[in-house]
Amino acid sequence: MPDRYALVLAGGRGERFWPWSRPERPKQLLPLARGGRSLLSATLERIRSLIAPDHCLVLTAHDLVSAVARECPAGTHVMGEPVSRNTAPAIGAAAHWFAAQSRDASFVVLPSDHAIDDGAAFAADLERAFAAAESGNTLVTFGVRPTGPETVFGYIRRGERVGDRLFRVAAFTEKPDRATAEGFLQSGDYAWNAGIFVWRASVFLDALQKNRPELAKTLQPLGTAGARFEDTFREVLPGCESISVDYAVLERSREVMMVEPTFDWDDLGSWSAWARRQERDARGNVCYGDAVVVDCDGCVVVGESGRAAALGLRDMVVVHAQGGTLSCPLDRVEEVRRVVEAIRAREAGR
């Protein structure tokens, strides 16, 4: 049986949870998982019984290495990216790292900022994905059954069923508009691309070579770097193109399969997504930390770094975190980036 590894991608900056999330404390480090732990910590805990910490590689931004390492079990490898180059270069580099440890290495790629609560289901689904990936030259992705016409995810069109909740992938699609997403939902043939992948290291490197030879060539020195791997990684990454693994490899490969997971999944892409998983009071309010709610309905009130009070509101978010305050309607939380952009523009203009 091949050696199994895990790559956890923890480099995101997650501006959608501003003011709680900040560049120096992004979403994956916030206590958004059940029990008040960070999403990163929950991700690592979820795979701990399946893959030993010393078989786990966590990639993050160079300035987040210390904060990320504090969330990791002893023995976990944490490596800092000097620049951000999206997922394809990071996964390619990790494939070299794992291949250097074992010629038969296979690995799972896990985002660090999603919520999955059912650990047993996750373990079973992951086992099926590894089995599928190890049985041939297949790239395996996870396709979550849609619960609504979301426009913030890429979609996967299912092809032929080849096993228990295992399908060939017919096509990947970009984030759809609302009408297209409605059609996807009704057809029953589409799944959300959850950004969780399993494959053999060698199979991935071959696919990268075939579909993105320039990128594969830039990463090639990592294959023979040995003890200088980390230094070499810092040297080659800036020269890589910034491109997602979906676009660089998956969409161009014929041999891709999709596992339909049995576990719950949420990308926690916004305050409203997070709130859906929290307990509510009798009037549907979610209160976190030092929250004071008077005559409100369906609100999310977070007092993380001070007291947050809401009076007479309906379906609003009021957040006091990291010394800043945000107030907006719940149906506009997808636009929180606009606040971050306004702040950035103002600071640039100073």
Q: Which residues bind a second copy (CB under 8 A)?
A: 18-19, 292, 294-295, 303, 306-313, 316, 318, 320, 323-329, 332, 335-336, 338-339, 342-343, 346
How would DSSP label each residue in 186-243?
A: HHS-EEEEEEEEEEEHHHHHHHHHHH-HHHHHHHGGGGG-GGGHHHHHHHHGGGS---
Nearer to a second copy, 167 or 288 (CB): 288
CA distance 271 to 224: 44
Could you tell me the smallest distance in angstroms from the CB atom of residue 225 to a second copy? 44
Could you tell me the smallest distance in angstroms from the CB atom of residue 318 to a second copy? 4
Nearer to a second copy, 88 or 291 (CB): 291
- At 22, list the tokens: 């900040």
Nearer to a second copy, 237 or 296 (CB): 296
Could you tell me the smallest distance in angstroms from the CB atom of residue 273 to a second copy? 17
CA distance 241 to 35: 39
Could you tell me the smallest distance in angstroms from the CB atom of residue 8 to a second copy? 31
Nearer to a second copy, 264 or 295 (CB): 295
The number of residues in the chain equals 350
Nearer to a second copy, 87 or 272 (CB): 272
The dihedral sign for the CA sequence 240, 245, 247, 249: positive
Nearer to a second copy, 216 or 299 (CB): 299
The β-bridge partners of 22 are 25
Q: Is the peptide bond before 31 cis (omega within 30 degrees of 0)?
A: no
Neighbours of 37 (CB within 10 A): 16
Nearer to a second copy, 159 or 329 (CB): 329
Could you tell me the smallest distance in angstroms from the CB atom of residue 19 to a second copy? 7
CA distance 276 to 93: 36
**219 within 8 A of 240, measured Cβ to Cβ:** yes
Could you tell me the smallest distance in angstroms from the CB atom of residue 182 to a second copy? 24
Could you tell me the smallest distance in angstroms from the CB atom of residue 268 to a second copy? 19
Sole residue written with tokens 């959300």: 192
CA distance 143 to 198: 12
CA distance 248 to 277: 34
